[in-house]
Structure 1
Amino acid sequence: MAQAQDMSTAEWELMRVIWTMHEAGSSDIIRVIQSKKDWTESTIKTLLRRLVKKEALTTRKVGRKFIYQPLIGEEEAMDQMTAETFDRLCRMKRGHAIAKLVADTTLSQTDIQELQQILAEKVTTAPEKVACDCIAPMSCENCEDHPMMV
């Protein structure tokens, strides 16, 4: 199964088209991508082949057309990318990163209500402080406190 972090930015662009369409022929994908990007047909076909090789897409031939379907769901891919990104951050800094992301992102009222509900539930079990888990916490200048190594 594909790992989202193995996809390039260009491959993500193709996946977004296919996730939206659920399945699509190569000519349809090429048409949609070329309406937004200045990519050649051969570039798009190369990216599609790479995504099939990475097991992000499956393909079947119908007559002379190739039909592509995702093998990884959009939500699963987003979850993988988010986890990968946050795994790279010090635990102590993740809250700030999330707050900045929320502040910088256009959210619907429903999104905000969902976030408020999640935060209201989490506050009841949240620790007072999150421990630094930097590689060398005692010498980490960016972390405000170093309560203990994790």
Structure 2
Amino acid sequence: MKNKNLDTNISDAEWEVMRIVWTLEKAYTSQIIDQLKAKKDWSESTIKTLMRRLVQKGLLITKKDGRKFIYIPTVSQVEMMHQAASDLLNKMCDMHKGEVILELLKEAPISKGDLMKMTEEIDKKEKNAPEMVPCNCLKNGSTVC
């Protein structure tokens, strides 16, 4: 499912639909509607509109199963989350990205296994890390933001 340059410009409501389909791996229209109606006060037509938009954006495909439609993601949840996070970080000052990532680390629920992987990655990255990351907000590359 590797897909570069994903359109991560999806609404919060579209994220809700995608989370259901990712969790179920593939989902019938009725499953998506039932799950969203249990969580949100949305009409069936609103939910179907969200699903249609996600198909148009290429994030879901549909297959017919008799008289029913199955929705299948074209991108994994981790890929989409990574791309959305990268898009956001690319809008930020390079000098402050470490601080933001540290705050996210403090706030996010993270498994021991993922923490071990992060520690390994930090150990690798630390070997070549600069003393200070320069600001990239101004054209001349100021070191202070």
Above 0.5 in TM-score? yes
1:118 corresponds, among 117, 121, 130, to 121
CA deviation string 1:2-57 (max 9, x = no partner): 83422111001100100111111100111111111111111110100111111111
3-state SS of 1:58 partner: strand
2:28 corresponds, among 25, 30, 36, to 25
1:115 maps to amino acid: M
Stretches of structure 1 lacking an aligned partner (at least 5 in a row): 139-145
Q: How does 1:58-97 map to 2 (within 5 A)?
A: 58-97=61-100
> Is the Cα contact below 8 Å between 1:19 and 1:73 reproduced in 2?
yes
Stretches of structure 2 lacking an aligned partner (at least 5 in a row): none
What is the CA distance between 1:71 and its match in structure 2? 1.1
> Is the Cα contact below 8 Å between 1:61 and 1:67 reproduced in 2?
yes
Larger CA Rg, structure 1 vs 2: 1
Aligned CA RMSD, in angstroms, stands at: 1.8
1:109 corresponds, among 100, 107, 112, to 112
CA deviation string 1:58-100 (max 9, x = no partner): 0122221111101121121111101101100110000000011
3-state SS of 1:61 partner: strand
Which whole-Å CA distance do the structure 2 matches of 1:100 and 1:65 have between them?
Answer: 44
1:9 aligns with 2:12: yes
> Is the Cα contact below 8 Å between 1:18 and 1:70 reproduced in 2?
yes
Using the aligned pairs only, state the percent identity.
Answer: 40
1:55 corresponds, among 41, 49, 58, to 58
What is the CA distance between 1:136 and its match in structure 2? 5.7
> Is the Cα contact below 8 Å between 1:4 and 1:78 reproduced in 2?
no
In the comparison of the two structures, how many residue pairs are matched? 141
1:99 corresponds, among 84, 88, 102, to 102
Counterpart in the other structure of 1:44: 47
Which whole-Å CA distance do the structure 2 matches of 1:137 and 1:111 have between them?
Answer: 38
Which whole-Å CA distance do the structure 2 matches of 1:77 and 1:38 have between them?
Answer: 26
- Change beyond 3 A, Cα 1:4–1:77: farther
